[in-house]
Structure 1
Amino acid sequence: MKANRNSPVFSWLLLLLLSHLCLRINVQSTEMPSVQFKAVNLGGWLVTEGWITPSLFDRIYNSDLLDGTQVQFMSTAWGKYLCAEKGGASTIAANSSKASDWETFKLWRVSDDQFQFRVFNKQFIGLDGGGGPGSPIVAVATMPGESETFQIIRNPGNPNRVHIKALSNEMFLQAKSEDIVTADFGGEPGWEDSSKAVFVMNFFGNSLQGEYQVTNGYGTGRAAQVMQDHWNTFIVEDDFAFIAKSGLNAVRIPVGWWTATNPTPAPFVAGSLDVLDRAFSWAENYGLKVILDLHAPPYSQNRGDHSGTRDGTIEFGSTQETIDKTVEVIELFSARYASSESLAAVGLINEPSAPAVSLDVLARYYEAGYAAVRRHSPTAYVIMSNRLHSTTPTELLPLANGRSRTVIDVHYYNLLSSGFNNWTVQQNIDYIYQTRASELNTLTSASGPLSFVGEWVAELNVTNAGPEDYKRFARAQLEVYGRASFGWAYWTLKNVNPHWSLRWMIENGYITI
């Protein structure tokens, strides 16, 4: 019998079918968690950040000369800076009156006092043609070797006054003229200004203090014990008990790619995977969920300490290999923890930086990373982080829509850009209720991916702000970020800076969950 399209029965059947389809689309898109996550980040634990735990670097010799440190060298004889002509792929001169990009070199640390110098265009300073007498210093090597390795010898009375000795010929770098720099000064150069082998070493920008810096700074042998001691004491089982009794129900754990890799690649040291296993066990013991977040992929996605970078160069997405290697890491973590009752979500990558990481690159990675998680878990949420510095907070919505259990992660700080300078406490609070709330609302819909404020903190860039100011600021964020459909995570549980430490904030009455 053919249905009459004008009959009430047909209309009812059509409505039922459409309702069923809408329900299926809604379930597939949102699949809300049974409980909104109120989490804390365990930052500075398995991925080192020196500003969180500065004492971790205390026993490193030449701790101001770690990997990625940017230095400039001024010849005392000429009063000019060493310069990589054309930014690289050419000679080194001593002819710059002012120091800028071409005069700035990134250190690759080889030992306590031996280094390689990376120039603006990513080549390394070395001895031309094997370094015979009078051979110029050039920046042409794309990967450094012995000819590109130098010893920095510091003046005991003035450590920024240095000699630079070439490892390959045991002779000192000298600026023979403003246009010619060689490594053929024999004997003792002395420390007089007139010596052509004396340079003043200036530091540029902020130094990196991440996992690469701490492990390579100590050297693999010493680093193994230092890191094991840190892992065993910085976060302990009692912290998980505290988290649970404080009203939180989850932890977000930043991890690095080396944790999932066996054998662990130097200079990173083995052991963090066992610690991560322990964290999952503690989470199960105290009824907590784990949000596993890849903070440091094999190739840096931003210039931060937490990206595992050696020198601040962003390489994630530069080739397909960088994407494939990162997917492999997600696959390893997903396979290992998919059966854990505590696993709630996998964050595919933390804070990729725009425009260095393009939206097209990120979309290709997120699609492959999502598939890697799904090969092992149909239930774990997959978190896609918004790009740092992107002006379009909704740019990931088309990618995440239609995929099961997807979450978009945003990070909200009121102090990491100059835009918040000179604001009052009330202006900061108003910004939370107005701008942050509005942006979060655009990301939170009934049929799209879930929203997650994966990092926030009750710290203010306000002079003389008092305890009540911090309490009001924290309450405003708890109220607004509580509207995120997936939840939020405070940065971080422990920190030498008290307002960044949720444990300190709770114990001292600033925050109540």
Structure 2
Amino acid sequence: MTNNYQALLIFCLCVSAAFAQTDCQKARLTNLLAGKTKPIGVNLGSWFVLESWMSPLPWSQNGCSASQNPGSYMLEQCLKSKGVRQSVMNNHWNTFITEADFSKMSANGVNFVRLPVGWWNIYDAQGGVATAKLNNSVSPVDYQSGALTYIDKAFAWGAKYGIGILLCMHAAPGSQGGTDNSSPPDASGKYYWDAYQNNQDATVDAISLYAQRYANSPALWGIALLNEPRGSLNSLTRYYLNAYAAIRKYVSTKAIVLNPRIVPFESASESVWTSFMQGSQYTNVWFDLHLYSCFGGPADKNNSADAINYVKNDRVSQIQAYRKAQPNKKLLIGEWAGANNFGDNNLVGFVNAQMNAFANADGWSFWSWQGSGGGWNLQSMLNAGINRNQFSQC
């Protein structure tokens, strides 16, 4: 099956699904894609790039240690050794996020999802990474195939329920962060993506194939080039330039989203980023900042009053500083949550304060829709009574 035929098939699937839209859902998606409304939504974390703290069952039910097998690749190796890899992964993809979740998101006014994927998922179209003809040699390549069917469904459901999708390269060859959310090839905590040009070029290949496959989907809002990278700035900026050029061959106007480095934390106001991708040849480029209050630093307070004051003052000032430094690039707060270390019961007030502050950006997506609890789960927060005035109700 050719890539062009695959793209046509996905387009037809999404269009047929879209016929079930209500007028409000159709208008909501149209306005989002036209830039008339802000992307306000949620991440679908741990669906395709698994994190044990969010979706522990594939580990715990199969005798796999999360510390010894962090992330998707290491989990799959453990499952393979027990002869259950395909069945466990298929069950996870089929149940962790379903059409009912898209329906519920839509009913709650979500107009946007950030969809984390792994570089390897796109090669299901070629029978899996191990049998695909890769332009750049990478290791490892022994991934379970089957997820791409569900990524296709996500785009179809997005079209059906009026939800735009930001496809995010969350896990690149060799791991760009060494943490479980980048599917490391071992349990060392090391990251290998930035040190090897073939890993970077293989990421360009994969994201180009994603762009080809979903270019004509009515739900595609944009493509995020790499989640929370660490390491060499030279490797990262080179990759961003090459990935931008590759995607623009197939996706001419949709948003292209950049993460600055997560360690050391960068706000995109640094000179390397204020001078990056300037000029009329770069269009609809966004930066994505991840602003948490539970991982140390000045935002991590021991009581909700101080945490809320920090959000109201410092977070707003940070967004204003970004706008001054980056007048030509929009800002997405791509990850944030109510998770905290203050331990009192004002979680709703804390989440509301963050939503109010992040309204000063050009859009936001909460981490996450499914998995974990407390301040990490948007469904729980909606049930707890957070303010819904930014959501696009139908």
Contact 1:505 1:511 in 2 (8 A): no
Say whether residues 1:225 and 2:225 are aligned partners.
no
Question: Larger relative contact order (C-alpha < 8 A, sep ≥ 6)?
Answer: 2
Q: Deviations over 1:361-405 (max 9, x none)?
A: 211111011111101011111000021133542132321333200
* 1:234 aligns to 2:96 (yes or no): yes
Q: Deviations over 1:292-315 (max 9, x none)?
A: 000001121112101011223211
- Percent identity, aligned pairs only? 30
Q: Pick the aligned partner of 2:55 from 53, 59, 66.
A: 53
Structure 1 residue aligned with 2:165 = 290
Q: Name the amino acid aligned to 2:257.
A: I
Partner deviation per Cα, 1:18-73 (whole Å, 9 max, x = no partner): xxxxxxxxxxxxx9822110020000111100000112212334x33x6xx5xxxx
**1: CA distance between counterparts of 2:239 and 2:37?**
29
CA-to-aligned-CA distance 1:120-151 (integer Å, 9 cap, x gap): xxxxxxxxxxxxxxxxxxxxxxxxxxxxxxxx
2:334 counterpart of 1:454: yes
The equivalent position to 1:400 in structure 2, one of 271, 277, 297, is 277
State the alpha-carbon separation in 2 of the partners of residues 509 and 378 from structure 1: 40
Unaligned runs of 5+ in 1: 1-30, 70-206
Partner of 2:35: 33
Question: If the length of structure 2 is used for normalisation, what is the TM-score?
Answer: 0.81
Partner of 1:345: 222
Counterparts of 1:498 and 1:462, CA distance in 2: 13
**Is the Cα contact below 8 Å between 2:69 and 2:78 reproduced in 1?**
no
The yes-or-no answer on 1:380 pairing with 2:254 is yes
Equivalent residue, structure 2, for 1:90? none
* Structure with greater helix share of residues: 2
Q: Which amino acid aligns with 1:209?
A: P
Return the alpha-carbon distance in structure 2 between the equivalents of residues 389 and 430 of structure 1: 25
**Preserved contact between residue 301 and residue 307 of structure 2 (Cα < 8 Å):** no
Shift of 1:491: 0.1
Give the superposed CA RMSD: 1.9
Q: Which residue of 1 aligns with 2:305?
A: 426
Check if 1:216 corresponds to 2:77: yes
> Is the 2:338–2:374 Cα contact (8 Å) retained in structure 1?
no
Task: Give the structure 1 partner of residue 3 of structure 2.
Answer: none
> What's the secondary structure of 2:129's corresponding residue?
coil
2:178 aligns with one of 273, 288, 303: 303
Indicate how the Cα distance of structure 1 residues 411 and 282 shifts in structure 2: closer, same or farther if over 3 A, else same. same
Contact map agreement 1:400 1:449 (CA 8 A) in 2: no
Q: Contact 1:330/1:373 (CA < 8 Å) preserved in 2? A: yes
* Gap regions ≥5 residues in structure 2: 1-32, 131-140
Normalized per residue, which structure has more strand?
Answer: 1
Task: State the shift of 1:510 in Å.
Answer: 3.5
AA aligned opposite 2:312: Y
Query: Structure 1, residues 335-382: CA drift from partner, whole Å, max 9, x if none?
Result: 1001111101100000002xxx22222111110111111010111110
Question: Partners in 2 of 1:238 and 1:375 — Cα distance?
Answer: 34
Q: Report if aligned partners of 1:208, 1:304 keep a CA contact under 8 Å in 2.
A: no
Structure 1 distance, partners of 2:77, 2:56, is 16
- Give runs of ≥4 in structure 1 deviating > 6 Å: none
- Determine helix, strand or coil for the equivalent of 2:247: helix
User: Aligned to 2:117, which of 229, 252, 255?
Assistant: 255
Report the residue type matching 2:119 in the other structure: W
Question: Which among 253, 270, 281 is matched to residue 156 of structure 2?
Answer: 281
Deviation at 1:435, TM superposition (A): 1.8
Letter in 2 for 1:497: G
Find the aligned partners of 1:504 and 1:473 in 2 and give their Cα distance: 14
What amino acid is the match of 1:441?
Q
> In structure 1, the residue corresponding to 2:311 is in which secondary structure?
helix
Q: Counterpart of 2:385?
A: 509
Are the aligned partners of 2:51 and 2:71 in contact in 1 as well (CA < 8 Å)? yes
Residues 473-496 of structure 1 deviation map (CA, whole Å, 9 limit, x = unaligned): 1111111111112x0000000123
Length-normalised TM-score, structure 1: 0.63
Residues 400-431 of structure 1: per-residue CA shift (max 9 Å, x gap): 33320000000000001265555221111111
Question: d(CA) in 2 for partners of 1:208 and 1:420?
Answer: 31
Cross-structure match for 2:356? 479
- Whole-angstrom distance in 1 between the partners of 2:171 and 2:318: 27
Letter in 2 for 1:56: P
Aligned residue pair count = 335
| C-alpha distance in 2 between matches for 1:438 and 1:390 | 20
SS in 2 for 1:306: helix
Q: Distance between the aligned counterparts of 2:323 and 2:331, measured in 1?
A: 6
Aligned to 1:324: 201
**Pairs within 5 Å for 1:43-442:** 43-61=45-63, 63-64=64-65, 207-219=68-80, 221-261=83-123, 262=126, 263-265=128-130, 267-311=142-186, 312-353=189-230, 357-390=231-264, 392-393=266-267, 394-395=269-270, 396-402=273-279, 403-417=282-296, 419=298, 423-442=302-321
Give, in angstroms, the shift of residue 447 of structure 1: 4.1
Amino acid at match of 2:357: V
Return the offset for 1:331. Answer: 0.4
Amino acid in structure 1 at the alignment position of 2:37: V
- Whichever residue aligns with residue 52 of structure 2, its letter is G
Shift of 1:511: 4.7
Instruction: Kindly indicate whether the alpha-carbon contact (under 8 Å) linking 2:70 and 2:184 is maintained by their aligned counterparts in 1.
Output: no
Say if 1:292 and 1:347, in contact at 8 Å, map to a contact too.
yes
SS of residue matched to 1:410: strand
Matched to 1:501, the amino acid is N
Letter in 2 for 1:50: S
The residue type equivalent to 1:254 in the other structure is P
Partner AA of 1:457 in structure 2? A
- 2:321 and 2:235 map into 1 onto residues whose CA distance is 24
Cα distance in 2 between the residues matched to 1:319 and 1:267: 19
CA–CA distance in structure 1, aligned partners of residues 266 and 49 of structure 2 = 28
